[in-house]
């Protein structure tokens, strides 16, 4: 039932929130799931699929909306060609935060059959301690980096944070970073999994270990 997906998403938010709220009831619907997906909207304002600038809006709550500016570019890390995306918060006056909210030490590489995502220790710390707003920035980063729609990226981000990043060190590297691999097939399945009734298995590899992420 769809309430299982929405309930799981909200449990993730509970894990990283400083306030407590009652668990959702069994009456959650596809429409309510769609409302969660609609909380993150991402649009490209310049460039192409390899480099460019993006704007994202993330509705944190009924009274708070974050606006992000994202810069995507190619870089070389340890001799590898990677995709870097820096996420800056945009203030109401239109200025940007002095340093990126997310994307300080994270990057991704297309392997030919999927994406290899490296989440650096600084960004991992942000995800562990940043509360619900961290999920929005991470979701926007995923959307621009690996091409998910904003809604799918938000739910994927929340599931990753809840399942593997918050409260467990089993999947982290010695320096506190995390390496995630997802195939093209699994990536294409994410929006389908979200739309289907009941939690659906999305296969990943984290730290070289095959895992299943329920969406």
Reported as a single tens digit per residue, the pLDDT across 123-133 is: 999 999 988 88
The partner residues of 46 in beta bridges, in order of sequence, read 53
* pLDDT interval class at 105 (50, 70, 90): very high
Instruction: pLDDT band for 5, please (50, 70, 90 cuts).
Output: very low
C-beta atoms surrounding 5 within 10 Å: 26
Confidence of residue 93 (pLDDT cuts 50, 70, 90): confident
- pLDDT average, residue stretch 4-15: 40
User: Distance of CA 149 to CAs 30, 62, 152, 183, 190, Å?
Assistant: 17, 22, 5, 17, 10
Predicted local confidence at residue 33, as pLDDT: 58
CA distances to 80, 122, 179, 195 from 175, rounded to whole Å, are 19, 10, 11, 36
Q: Where are the domains of the chain?
A: 2-214
How remote is the C-alpha of 2 from its chain's centroid?
21
Cα separation, 53 vs 45, in Å, equals 6
Which of 95-100's residues contact partners 24+ apart within 8 Å by CB, and which partners?
A: 96/69
Q: Check whether 66 has a pLDDT greater than 60.
A: yes
pLDDT per position as a tens digit, 12-63:
433 333 222 222 333 344 555 567 778 999 999 998 878 999 999 999 988 9
Who's near 29: CB < 8 A, 6+ residues apart? Answer: 2, 3
pLDDT given at position 24 = 32
Q: What is the pLDDT of residue 34?
A: 63
Decide: 157 and 142 in contact? Cβ < 8 Å: yes
**Can you give the pTM of this predicted structure?**
0.84
pLDDT value, residue 147: 94
């Amino acid at each position: 039932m769809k309430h299982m997906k929405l309930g799981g998403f909200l449990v993730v938010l509970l894990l990283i929130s400083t306030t407590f709220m009652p668990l959702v009831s069994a009456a959650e619907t596809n429409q309510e799931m769609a409302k969660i997906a609609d909380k993150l909207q991402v649009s490209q304002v310049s460039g192409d699929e390899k480099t460019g600038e993006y704007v994202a809006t993330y509705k944190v709550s009924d009274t708070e909306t974050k606006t992000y500016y994202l810069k995507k570019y190619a870089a070389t890390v340890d001799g590898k060609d990677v995709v870097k995306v820096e996420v800056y918060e945009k203030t109401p006056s239109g200025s940007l935060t002095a340093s990126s909210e997310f994307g300080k030490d994270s990057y991704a590489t297309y392997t030919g059959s999927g994406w290899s995502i490296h989440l650096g220790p600084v960004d991992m710390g942000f995800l562990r301690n940043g509360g619900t707003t961290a999920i929005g920035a991470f979701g926007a980063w995923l959307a621009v980096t690996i091409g998910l729609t904003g809604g799918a990226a938000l739910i994927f981000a929340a599931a990753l944070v809840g399942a593997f990043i918050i409260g467990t060190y089993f999947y982290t590297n010695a320096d506190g970073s995390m390496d995630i691999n997802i195939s093209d097939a699994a990536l294409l399945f994410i929006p389908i999994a979200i739309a289907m009734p009941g939690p659906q298995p999305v296969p990943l590899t984290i730290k070289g270990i095959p895992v299943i992420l329920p969406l």
